[in-house]
Structure 1
Amino acid sequence: MEGFFLKINQFAYVPTSHEQIIKELADSRFLSARTQKMADPVMLYRGLLLKFFLEKKQSRAVRIQKVADLMATTNLNAYEYTTTQSSVSRVAFYNVALQLLGFQVGLDFELDDPFTALKKFKLPVIDSDDPLTRDQLIDAWYRLLNTRTKFGQTLIDDLAGKGYYAQFYDDQQLPRPLFFNGKAQAVFDTSQLIRDVVYVESSLDTDHDGQRDLLKAEIIRPADTEAGLKVPTVFTASPYDQGTNDENADKMTHNVNHPLSRKQPTQLTYDDIKSADKQPELPAPRKINGNTDVAEETFIKNWTYTLNDYFLARGFAVVYSSGVGTKDSDGVRTTGTSAETLSATAIIEWLHGDRPAFTNRTDQIGIKAWWSNGNVGMTGRSYLGTLSTAAALTGVAGLKTAVVEAGISNYYEYYRENGLVVAPGGFQGEDTDVLGELTFSREQSAADYLKIRDTWQEQLKKLRIGQDRDSGNYNSFWDARNLLKDVNIKCDILLVHGLNDWNVKLSHVWNLRNRLKQEAITQKLILHQGQHEYLNNFRSVDYTDLVNLWLSNKLYDVQNNANETLPDVLVQDNAEPETWHTYQDWGSSSIDHYTLSDPRFTNLNENTSFSDHLDEDLFKSYVKDTAKWQRALFTKSHSKMDNHAIQLVSEPLRKDLVIDGRAKITLSAASSATVGLLSVALVDYGKAKRLTATPQVLAAQKIITGYNWRKDDLREFIPEKKASAYKKFTDAHMNMQNRENAYRVDDLKPGQFYTFEMAFQPTFWRLLAGHQLGILIYATDMDYTIRGNQEITYTVDLDNSTLTLPLLATDAGTN
């Protein structure tokens, strides 16, 4: 396991009073009525260590041997120490603590000095006397249980996975749910989980069959609910959950190797293209022919989100639903409209007691979520996170929070940019119709698809026409898919996004966050160094604990200071491994301005114009291997792209420079044709072993979500094995005929200079001292834009072109 850069960052710990610590240790069975009366700290310490090794599951002789396997000092093991010494020294306590946390003597730390390792790994040490008093020992033990191990989990979670709470399954006095340091504990028996299927009746008829669309929902809940326990729900709306049509979707992928077309100029205003989003008249609701508390159908899941699995052991139900147009549900996919939103909120309304559901699709026997306490939190990444955002913005009753990972906030910005057809990273040629086909899993049920096939083909046609790949303009189709148009949010929200996410780009979380600042809610933001990734199994940050604290507060109403404990903005450093920083906001108001002809920038190829046309063989080779094109474009050495871009590189930076927010560039530029596109990238030049944007497995199946329950790999973004010379950290694209906005088309006269104002993707990026800031101006982006290979020459007036950078206040004006 990679350990050289190991840092145990911990942000979810809640400072706790001694009196509350005593109560929580008693509730969790670490302190009994007898041990609470012990005045001798050594005897108490021995008792705690023996309890640690599963008092109810293992004999005393076994537990003594396990304690004796730990070294307290250079010459005494922990059992010898607690039977021969009259006090508990800080050195002895933290030597044992490091071993319980998974650190190895001689490899990770030395017994004569545990504190150097504690500092190196950023592990907490309580302020105490030496030796520890009885009360200090109790506080230190509590803090230790809430400290993260070498393998990423808190010690109490690691212990729970090894059966600590399982030994109390028959203890009817053990609190269920149980909260420790404000977080739900794994006291529920996951071997007894109940799995139900219901069909929620929505307020939709997207397939126009004269009946309201039924939506399949799969429920996993603790067996304790059968005895009357009411639990909250973690809900994931996943259009992929019932299956995907990968082969058919791949066949529909659009060709992007064609010329950019000239568009007829218009004077359109927003009112001309605004979507009314009128809801059609609905059929009457189904008649309820009776009611029951017993579901008729169960299921087996092929895919689950391990964060959801984690909460199943901790007193939460989990619900998955795929929505309209998916297998065993009614309707058709609409790719981003309010119909998909309403198919998510329908499930929440049923969980809150506001909407009917049935035990099967035909008999109309009603079933309520009688086991639910009415509180719902949504989780999920990408499309799943998008639906979490969409549902939250409606203000639906019962939704108390959404944990949104890499969610879309405006579908136009996912598939388009400033009047250009622009692909989500890695998916050239995808569009709303392709995504619709991918997720229309009703296709996988032969008899059902036979009934709906013609309706679906008509729906695909509407998607193809509405998305308008010919122009790339913003229109009423896209306006109906802008989630930020109508905001009625009532719940708190936790936003999570990767600073290297070129699929759902950072503009989505940036725009959502800034819009939510106008609302009376609490929002938090986590920015990591990955691309399109989940974060719940990482070593360097206690993400799962943060979410546990958050959901325990929002869904169980535990008063754990979650709003105050979670940082407002938590950012992973791009230049220092396993390092995280907290901030009050994202987006600096300190702005530095640069003219592109500034002498601090060197024009490497000494050109102010470039051709977008490549030799046919070269063009084909770059289409086949876009990584090869990237290397040729971004390198500071001479390459075959020298005459196809303007490359400006700053002087080496005198000190670190942090770009915090949304940089902008204003170009005075001309096209030799009546069409044109501009692309600009900001590049960090400097040889370094940069963090991998794809997480690496540090230890396989090392994370345990509960006793005999789901496991997950421990992962991390680690430094590359080989140093790289550069890194693109943000970019922007624009159709030169959309220089005013994305819906109005402007004329473009050959050779005439126009002003183009382009906003880069928001970022939080640290350029190290000695590195150089690069500005790449080019046209066709092989990874994202249409690839026309047209005979067009672009010219940029560098004297009248400017770059503005938002910098952390300490960095403004310093380089």
Structure 2
Amino acid sequence: MRLGIGGCVAALLAAGLVAAPATAAASVSVSAGSGPQYDFAGAIRETVWVDTGRDGDGDGQPDRVAADIVRPAETAKAGAKIPVIMDASPYYSSVGRGNETEFKTYDDQGRPVGFPLYYDNYFVPRGYAVVLVDLAGTNRSTGCVDVGGESDVNSAKRVIDWLNGRATGYGAKTGGGTVTADWTSGAVGMIGKSYDGTIANGVAATGVDGLKTIVPISAISSWYDYYRSDGAAFGFDPAELAATVEARNGGQDCSAENGKLVEGATANGDYGPFWAERDYVAKAKNVRASVFISHGVNDLNVRTINFGQWWDALAANGVQRKIWLSQTGHVDPFDYRRAEWVETLHRWFDHYLMGIDNGIEKDPMATVERQPDQWADQATYPAKDASQTTLHLQPGNTPGVGTLGTDAASGTTSFTDNAKVGEVGWAANPSAMSPNRVLYSTGELASPVQVSGTSSITVTATPSTSSARLSAMLVDYGPATIRNFSARGEGITTGSQETCWGGNAPGDDACYKVTTANTTKVDYTVLSRGWADLANYQSLSQESPLTPGQPYTMTFRLASTDHVIPAGHRLALIVGGTDVDVITPPAQTPKVTLDLAKTSVLIPLSGALPAHPQAGGLPAGPLAHVSRRAAVDLR
């Protein structure tokens, strides 16, 4: 069922949305912005194949990537130069795009008909062109994917070059006459979720001229941090993803390229040349585009260290930026805050691609979901008054259970790795001794405390065997209602009604199912996680043999977040060995002893912790929680 004008819920009306039937366009009020004035059904739809200058599939011919284009016919007749919104993806014929799994479609002559997502429906009537690029080796492009490497990034970069007259486009996959983009201003904004947003990050890191802004949604900033964490491996590899997205690529032989993926992504978790090629954070100094990030703080697919380290690197380079953080998992903001997202995105593109002075660059930098559907603007991210605070592990009366405070301590504590236990087992019964983890917590908070930014932990650990894994997590102990990010939908429920967002054409409508928050009640919330291989204590580039009984000091990162711990709750640090749901175990699972005087956690905190925390006060027995589920695809 599609919502008619009288069927909108109050929240959508308050946000400026008029939900329209299938034949009309939803309108969002945008101050001094581009309005719907062009006929979407009569828009020009075409495909251009752009020469990438590479021969990834080894067939002796330069690879060509397919760029499917939809643009208003009226602007072409008037000779107007218009900007481009681009989504470069490997998924248009393999796993689909969006919450409703849309694929590209074509007519019997191969002309593009169906463009996934709402970008074309909404923005083409407002004077934009929308260009959807098939990465090399996928859908109608030749060549091979290389999972975030030169081929992937170059696929989109060369289309931007073509839009700016620096590359050659053709009217056919092979042969064909040359085609120029004389209809565009050359200003490009890239957008996309997951793999698509990752490519936007990678292209921005090249500094390509013409790319004015990117909107990476739940995107990777360093592929190492998708597949590895400080030396620890997550148990899945790039070659698997390549095989998935190349499944319908027209028969190219990509076995040689896929072999390079297997060889480069070493199983031991070391950071080497393969990962350096796919590390956009290291190249952030090249970014000239503005950046609007969206990420779920409970995203267990593209973990949040990816947005945190990218954000910090962009900040160091003075890049204009904005961020939305939701309580969801791997979810597009169109599917958890639709009206506000479309309005904000419209203003963002209008400003950075059309040069419209609408003031969006002066809006609060960050917008954070504090509780399901309850949002707060924040002047900066991390929060302006959040300061890096060192907390120490202090022993209590129960072995392996103590307090977390600002005073240094002495002594040791230990746990035995058990590769069959992980986060849920460690967090349960927080007042009790556990053989497989140690747990240290603050006293009950007298006032709220905010964790805003990226934390890290430094351990001095002595393993009983020659190999060891370490896991750590920050936990908010106390009752809460949260988005059920581990359920199907990762925090949203998809209904049957639809709202429509732009113009319609045969085979390409603008209507999408309404979603609502899927919530659950819990007794604790994990707000940050991190993993490491102790053998990488000296360097991530090469692990070092461990001598049983010898202490080693290592610092590793915990995931980026923005989370308010309410008064009456407690903040806890849990340290264990192999996290069964996430990392691969060592050859021999050791007993690990921590030197408390040389072990601490560094947390960006705003607010006061108890001056003299007392052990105890945590709940005993099983606790309500959200069970994690494996998430290893990049949709």
TM-score range, shorter chain: 0.7 to 0.9
- The answer to whether the 8 A contact 1:592-1:813 is kept is no
User: CA separation in 1, counterparts of 2:7 and 2:466?
Assistant: 70
Are 1:801 and 2:599 matched, yes or no?
yes
> Which amino acid is 1:580 matched to?
A
1:154 corresponds to which of 16, 30, 50: 16
Does the residue aligned with 2:145 lie in a helix, a strand or coil? coil
Offset of 1:787 from its aligned partner? Answer: 3.6
Offset of 1:154 from its aligned partner? Answer: 1.4
Are 1:713 and 2:510 matched, yes or no?
no
Aligned to 1:644: 436
> Which amino acid is 1:673 matched to?
T
Offset of 1:439 from its aligned partner? Answer: 1.6
1:719-758 superposed matches below 5 A:
719-720=519-520, 723-758=521-556
User: CA separation in 2, counterparts of 1:675 and 1:737?
Assistant: 7
Aligned to 1:300: 113
Offset of 1:610 from its aligned partner? Answer: 2.1
Residues 160 and 559 of structure 1: is their aligned pair in 2 closer, same or farther, counting only changes over 3 Å? Answer: farther
Larger RCO, structures 1/2 (Cα 8 Å, 6+ apart): 2
> Can you list the C-alpha shifts for 1:622-673, whole angstroms capped at 9, x where unaligned?
7xxxxxx54322212699x932111233322222111111222222211110
Are 1:365 and 2:177 matched, yes or no?
yes
Does the residue aligned with 2:333 lie in a helix, a strand or coil? coil
> Can you list the C-alpha shifts for 1:460-503, whole angstroms capped at 9, x where unaligned?
2221111111x211111111111233342222121111111122
Aligned to 1:416: 228
1:580-595 superposed matches below 5 A:
580-586=376-382, 590-595=387-392
Aligned to 1:211: 61
> Which amino acid is 2:429 matched to?
K
Residues 222 and 710 of structure 1: is their aligned pair in 2 closer, same or farther, counting only changes over 3 Å? Answer: same
- The answer to whether the 8 A contact 2:82-2:127 is kept is yes
If you compute each CA radius of gyration, which structure gives the higher value, 1 or 2? 1
Residues 578 and 431 of structure 1: is their aligned pair in 2 closer, same or farther, counting only changes over 3 Å? Answer: same
Offset of 1:741 from its aligned partner? Answer: 2.4
Equivalent residues, number: 579
Aligned to 1:135: none
Aligned to 2:124: 312
Does the residue aligned with 1:227 lie in a helix, a strand or coil? helix
Identity %: 25
Aligned to 2:194: 382
1:369-768 superposed matches below 5 A:
369-422=181-234, 429-441=235-247, 443-445=248-250, 449=251, 452-453=252-253, 456-469=254-267, 471-486=268-283, 487-539=285-337, 542-564=340-362, 566-573=363-370, 575=371, 577-586=373-382, 590-597=387-394, 603-604=400-401, 608-613=413-418, 619=420, 630-636=423-429, 642-693=434-485, 694-697=490-493, 700-708=496-504, 709-717=509-517, 719-720=519-520, 723-768=521-566
User: CA separation in 1, counterparts of 2:221 and 2:415?
Assistant: 35
> Can you list the C-alpha shifts for 1:173-213, whole angstroms capped at 9, x where unaligned?
xxxxx995133223333222332111111122222333221
User: CA separation in 2, counterparts of 1:507 and 1:493?
Assistant: 17
User: CA separation in 2, counterparts of 1:220 and 1:238?
Assistant: 16
> Can you list the C-alpha shifts for 1:410-443, whole angstroms capped at 9, x where unaligned?
1111111111112xxxxxx3211111111224x5
Does the residue aligned with 1:192 lie in a helix, a strand or coil? coil
User: CA separation in 2, counterparts of 1:343 and 1:600?
Assistant: 60
> Which amino acid is 2:171 matched to?
T
> Can you list the C-alpha shifts for 1:552-581, whole angstroms capped at 9, x where unaligned?
1122222222212x32122221x4642222
1:48-67 superposed matches below 5 A:
none
User: CA separation in 2, counterparts of 1:432 and 1:568?
Assistant: 34
User: CA separation in 2, counterparts of 1:581 and 1:357?
Assistant: 44
Does the residue aligned with 2:530 lie in a helix, a strand or coil? strand
User: CA separation in 2, counterparts of 1:637 and 1:679?
Assistant: 16
Does the residue aligned with 2:281 lie in a helix, a strand or coil? coil
Residues 568 and 747 of structure 1: is their aligned pair in 2 closer, same or farther, counting only changes over 3 Å? Answer: same
1:48-127 superposed matches below 5 A:
103=10
Higher percent of residues as helix: 1
Are 1:334 and 2:127 matched, yes or no?
no
- The answer to whether the 8 A contact 2:367-2:375 is kept is no
Offset of 1:583 from its aligned partner? Answer: 2.2
Offset of 1:780 from its aligned partner? Answer: 0.9
Offset of 1:402 from its aligned partner? Answer: 0.8
- The root-mean-square deviation of aligned C-alpha atoms, in Å, is 3.2
User: CA separation in 1, counterparts of 2:44 and 2:379?
Assistant: 42
User: CA separation in 2, counterparts of 1:100 and 1:611?
Assistant: 58
Offset of 1:371 from its aligned partner? Answer: 2.6
Residues 540 and 205 of structure 1: is their aligned pair in 2 closer, same or farther, counting only changes over 3 Å? Answer: closer
Offset of 1:812 from its aligned partner? Answer: 6.4
Does the residue aligned with 1:687 lie in a helix, a strand or coil? strand
> Which amino acid is 2:531 matched to?
H
Structure 1's unaligned 5+ residue stretches are 1-52, 54-98, 104-120, 122-147, 167-177, 246-295, 423-428, 623-628
Aligned to 2:48: 198
- The answer to whether the 8 A contact 2:336-2:492 is kept is no
User: CA separation in 2, counterparts of 1:765 and 1:502?
Assistant: 16
Structure 2's unaligned 5+ residue stretches are 97-108, 404-411, 614-635
Are 1:242 and 2:93 matched, yes or no?
yes
> Can you list the C-alpha shifts for 1:330-377, whole angstroms capped at 9, x where unaligned?
211111212211111111122223222111133331112233232211
User: CA separation in 2, counterparts of 1:788 and 1:600?
Assistant: 31
Offset of 1:403 from its aligned partner? Answer: 0.9
User: CA separation in 1, counterparts of 2:288 and 2:402?
Assistant: 54
Residues 190 and 540 of structure 1: is their aligned pair in 2 closer, same or farther, counting only changes over 3 Å? Answer: closer
Q: Judge which range, 786-795 or 676-685, deviates more.
A: 786-795
User: CA separation in 2, counterparts of 1:217 and 1:532?
Assistant: 26
Residues 594 and 517 of structure 1: is their aligned pair in 2 closer, same or farther, counting only changes over 3 Å? Answer: closer
Does the residue aligned with 2:345 lie in a helix, a strand or coil? helix
- The answer to whether the 8 A contact 1:404-1:494 is kept is yes
Does the residue aligned with 1:458 lie in a helix, a strand or coil? helix
User: CA separation in 2, counterparts of 1:325 and 1:370?
Assistant: 27
> Can you list the C-alpha shifts for 1:365-424, whole angstroms capped at 9, x where unaligned?
1112233232211110111001111111222222111111122111111111111112xx
1:775 corresponds to which of 573, 590, 597: 573
User: CA separation in 2, counterparts of 1:728 and 1:208?
Assistant: 47
- The answer to whether the 8 A contact 1:297-1:359 is kept is no
Aligned to 1:275: none
Offset of 1:599 from its aligned partner? Answer: 5.6
> Which amino acid is 1:569 matched to?
A
User: CA separation in 1, counterparts of 2:450 and 2:338?
Assistant: 21
